[in-house]
Structure 1
């Protein structure tokens, strides 16, 4: 009968010694040999008639090792479960015990493993955390800009020969150039459509009188002011907060000139945007826009509270880790052979050492999340994952008119996604994380602070830049 003993190596770092007797694995090994001899297909012998000695000689060592490993796994899992030992990852062999296995001379064996214990820790009192709740000021100017944006988006376009004023629209191709003005090989090339007034004054002057086929050279930081630069940089796949972005130069080739006729603010336009018919007047329209802007910034503010919660919990919760074990585990994982497209170069011990703080922070958040989920019985059911898949589909389809969640093809899509294990796991984790933050929101007491939208956006951008 197998026996297991446990002894301390270091902080939360233990050694398991497994004594395996012959009787623990030999019956299983002999059964495996018999089963293999029945199905083995070896030239010169009829199926099921291969001599036992030949089977043992050819396949004995691997079958023997498999059975010993199965027996060890079974004993360790039973021990951990019976003794309520909560561990990280899987036990790691301390020695090359497998080298002593001999299928021809079965014996009692001793095996040694190291384990890392999950720590107990105390959750912070969320009500005492210093959290700020930002109330973004919704100004008349913000409402005016959104109304104009919608008027432009749904407006009518007429062709023009040349650029005449700021309300002209130019279809342009951005082509990245070097300091010499020549196109950069493999550089950025992107089409866009812009109102002339989106450009800085000097560029507007340079565009005046230009026609399709003409081009000008620009530097991003000089051609666009801060607000427009953010939009342009994102469209070009650049980070507006990086100094190099503003220094990038492009040739701007005009492919078409047009004049945008804004949509009139009338009931026909309101019904186009809001088919429910609850917007009748310009005042109703602006009130609706104000609500949408408010909801958007309230959502952004809520995300900021979540971000503060995450950093407070990770930075201030005291949790000890079996660092020596975890480092050994990372090294073991790093040395595992990799195949296929995801194959990556093995990391050096120095790289693993450098990544430990980040790894421990991720692990800390995992433990905090697990504790919140367990202590508050937070669950995610299959129906919630199905609803999540539907919402993702509707967002992807852009909220297409006439789409309902009871259409057969929608349900077929959802059921297909429910059979995708990776998708279900990702959806489950996202929904669980969302519920954890929703629970935490009910416990914190944010200090309300008013802030301008541009200041809030700048603060969030600087924070993201700092943490990446």
Structure 2
């Protein structure tokens, strides 16, 4: 067998694989001999079927299968030994020309080669790393929510300001029939609030959905409509009142603190507010990190310039799926996926240059820390090493879990790397302003 590579240009090459009869003849003969021993053909005793008949019936199918096995195995070995960084998979270029009645075969494959490039990090432009803080207004609102959640419900007959009202919304025009509990604080329009105020259990109140709630998304929750219908919904609904409750706020005392955080963890309103602040900012940090990761990735894609073997990639996309695509479909798919492919190459370059690959020991430690965090949620704050070893071994024996955890750890390593190496500017901001500024 002889395998050679001819470089077309820096991004494309052709590999030629020459297979002679000597490469496959013994294997084909052995398989056909086994067929002969086990074949049940009328008119012949088992094991005494003429070899000529076996070859005629099975010979070419066995030949094709064995040559293709040799081809794939040796092509893979060649690409590995030559350290060729290929994109996609080799595409056969003379498949239809192969004469399977001959003794020797020549196969040609087009290769798309990964480009060579450098990644500039830090770049010229600084990326904003948001530090999201929980301000007093947010903490006040959270304290109020806690007091409402753990307060008492007092049944009433008549709706007044601040009450919670349970009833059924109906509108034949949009097939709306949905039972929900609303608070008068959720209602936006003054006319709508006035229509509900003073209504009694059993009353039917007619409301207009346009501007009914503070947020159009509430139409989904309370009226049961789809996301698309929720935006700008403008119909009349009847709301039949079935229950009215006044929520008596819970007192900020030690019993409430213990219910929320465990006995003695929080002992005052000041400590409660600090705990709310810490928990909120911990969650905000995850959103801030994700925003940072997205922005650095976008910057790297935009500012790391290299060419791709687009013609090869389009052909590969066209033939590699479950169903063949047209040229137009493949071109559109390449356009959709090009940005992801570019970052995949950039990330691979960074991992190789800076030794950011995930090791098994790192994966095992990551799994153990995840297990410890989960066990702590259920009160086991001090698991033994034997427990952690056993559970992590079970998790890491599942390939899907290994893949999932590896992706998480890979993302964490890249994020930490960007925090250390990228050019960043920190900006302190409230969550409300962060949402408006970062995702406007």
**TM-score, L = length of structure 2:** 0.85
Say whether residues 1:431 and 2:418 are aligned partners: no
Contact 2:154 2:246 in 1 (8 A): yes
* Partner of residue 264, structure 1: 251
Q: CA deviation at 1:278?
A: 2.4
Alignment of 1:52-451 (within 5 A): 52-97=51-96, 99-102=98-101, 106-126=102-122, 128-166=124-162, 168-173=163-168, 177=171, 181-184=172-175, 191-200=179-188, 201-211=190-200, 214-216=203-205, 218=207, 222-226=211-215, 229=216, 245-247=231-233, 249=235, 251=237, 252-275=239-262, 277-334=264-321, 336-337=322-323, 347-378=325-356, 379-381=358-360, 382-384=363-365, 386-387=367-368, 390=371, 399=377, 418-451=396-429
Q: Distance in 2 between matches of 1:351 and 1:388?
A: 45
Deviation at 1:94, TM superposition (A): 0.6
**1:116 shift after superposition:** 0.5
SS in 2 for 1:110: strand
CA contact (8 A) 1:385 1:424 kept: no
Per the alignment, residue 29 of structure 2 pairs with 30
- The superposition leaves residues 126-160 of structure 1 with CA deviations (integer Å, 9 ceiling, x where unpaired) of 26442012233532111110001111122222333
- 1:331 CA drift (Å): 0.2
Instruction: Name the SS of the counterpart of 1:223 in structure 2.
Output: coil
Question: 1:60–1:256: structure 2 CA closer, same or farther, 3 Å change rule?
Answer: farther
The answer on whether the counterparts of 2:131 and 2:288 sit within 8 Å (CA) in structure 1 is: yes
Change (3 A) 1:139 1:355: same
Measured in 2, the distance between the counterparts of 1:440 and 1:262 equals 46
Q: SS state of the match for residue 165, structure 2?
A: strand
Q: Secondary structure at the match of 2:364?
A: helix
Secondary structure of 2:421's match?
coil
2-structure distance, mates of 1:33, 1:218: 82
Separation in structure 2 between the aligned mates of residue 13 and residue 306 of structure 1, nearest angstrom: 32
More off after superposition, 445-454 vs 17-26? 445-454
Task: Quote the offset at 1:327 in angstroms.
Answer: 0.5
Instruction: Mark the CA change 1:388 to 1:331 in structure 2 (over 3 Å): closer, same or farther.
Output: farther
Q: Is the 8 A contact 1:138 1:294 kept in 2?
A: yes
Answer yes or no: is the 8 Å Cα contact 2:192–2:208 preserved in 1: no
Unaligned runs of 5+ residues in structure 1 are: 338-345, 463-468
Secondary structure, in 3 states, of the residue corresponding to 1:246? coil
Is there any run of 5+ residues in structure 2 with no aligned partner, and where?
A: none
Give CA-to-partner distance per residue, 1:187-245, whole Å, 9 cap, x none.
Answer: x766543322121133322222345555555555501224xx45665786866xx7961
Give how far 1:279 is off.
Answer: 1.0
Does the Cα contact within 8 Å between 1:405 and 1:411 map onto a contact in 2? Answer: no
- 1:164-201 Cα offsets, whole Å, 9 max, x none, are 222x11234556x5xxx5243xxx76654332212113
C-alpha spacing 1:415/1:193, structure 2 compared with 1 (3 Å)? farther
When residues 306 and 331 of structure 1 are mapped into structure 2, their CA distance, relative to the original with a 3 A threshold, is same
Q: How many residues align?
A: 434
- Following superposition, the deviation at residue 35 of structure 1 comes to 3.2
